[in-house]
Amino acid sequence: MNDSNIDFTKMNYNMIKKLADSFKDDYTNFNITKESILQIIKLLNEDDRKNVQELSIRLSKQIQSFDTEVSRVKNMYNFDKNYLSLGYIAGVDEVGRGPLAGPIVAAAVVLNLNTTKDSELILGIKDSKKLSSKAREELSSKIMKKAISYSFSVIDSNEIDSKGIAWCNNEVFKIAVSKLNTLPNLVLSDGYPIKNFKIKNNYVIKGDEKSASIACASIIAKVYRDNIMKDYSKIYPEYSFEENSGYGTKEHIDAIKKYGPCKIHRMYFLRNII
């Protein structure tokens, strides 16, 4: 759609509503300028019909909401861009440090940080725990399509029991980075410095709220691990892993007490339960 070909004065309410609906929360997916949308809003405001004026209010809120989100995500990209002089930047994050069952999973992501258009940003990225399952899955797909490189690493419950969660947390970071197709010059890790690591590393407290690369790693790692746990739920249906992802919910603990642990439970984590 090209705004230069639209005569807004000849558009009736239904035509404008259809156009407004198509924008949803992201008008950058269309070949239309923000100024043109503001012109539509102006025309709607000048209309005497109440439903047309309400459409104007709704469209104004959509633009405001979208612009706020663009600003938030730009700040996350800019955080990472501060290190671009070093070369490629990777973000790494883990999921599954605290559950009673299942693996710990890490993801590493190298983003294209040389973004010049709002449409190139991956909007909606944030701490994966603050997103709905549907939003995470949609974002995970976008991240993997837009990333320069991404990778996953998995350490199972047996190794967690034998080597400890702290060692596994560090190791799963290192493995994820090593599997990237594009070797980074700097790795931003969420929360913890990576020990015994040959690549330059900066750890970022609450990194999935500050860094675009870490947030993207957090999201794809969460989706990846959740899918692993959904597969395990088919093998061990009594523990409802598809719902709790192995975390210690009341229902999960009750199931452990009733059925005992299964092969993917972390026995060290269960020492105060069984």
The tens place of each residue's pLDDT in the chain, 274 residues long, gives 444 455 555 767 777 677 667 665 555 555 556 777 777 777 777 777 787 778 888 888 878 888 899 999 999 999 999 999 999 999 999 999 999 999 999 999 999 999 878 888 999 999 999 999 999 999 999 999 999 999 999 999 999 999 999 999 999 999 999 999 999 999 999 999 999 999 999 999 999 999 999 999 999 999 999 999 999 999 999 999 999 999 999 999 999 999 999 999 999 999 988 8
Q: Are 202 and 85 in contact (CB under 8 A)?
A: no
Alpha helices in the chain (DSSP H): 13-23, 34-45, 50-81, 133-146, 157-163, 165-178, 207-210, 212-235, 241-244, 250-259
The pair of structure tokens assigned to 22 is 């198509």
Phi/psi at 131 (nearest 5 deg)?
-110, 150
Tell me the per-residue pLDDT of 257-267, one tens digit each, with 9 for 90 and over.
Answer: 999 999 999 99
**pTM of the entire predicted model:** 0.86
Predicted local confidence at residue 1, as pLDDT:
44
- The pLDDT of residue 2 is 45
Q: Is 190 annotated as a binding residue?
A: yes
- Residue-level pLDDT at 33: 65
Backbone CA torsion sign across 186, 187, 192, 194 = negative
The CA distance from 140 to 59, in Å, is: 28
Strand-strand pairing, 200-204 and 186-190: parallel
Res 9: pLDDT: 59
Residue 29 is predicted with a pLDDT of 54
Has 94 been labeled as part of a binding site? yes
Domains plus CATH for the chain?
3-81 (no CATH), 86-270 (3.30.420.10)
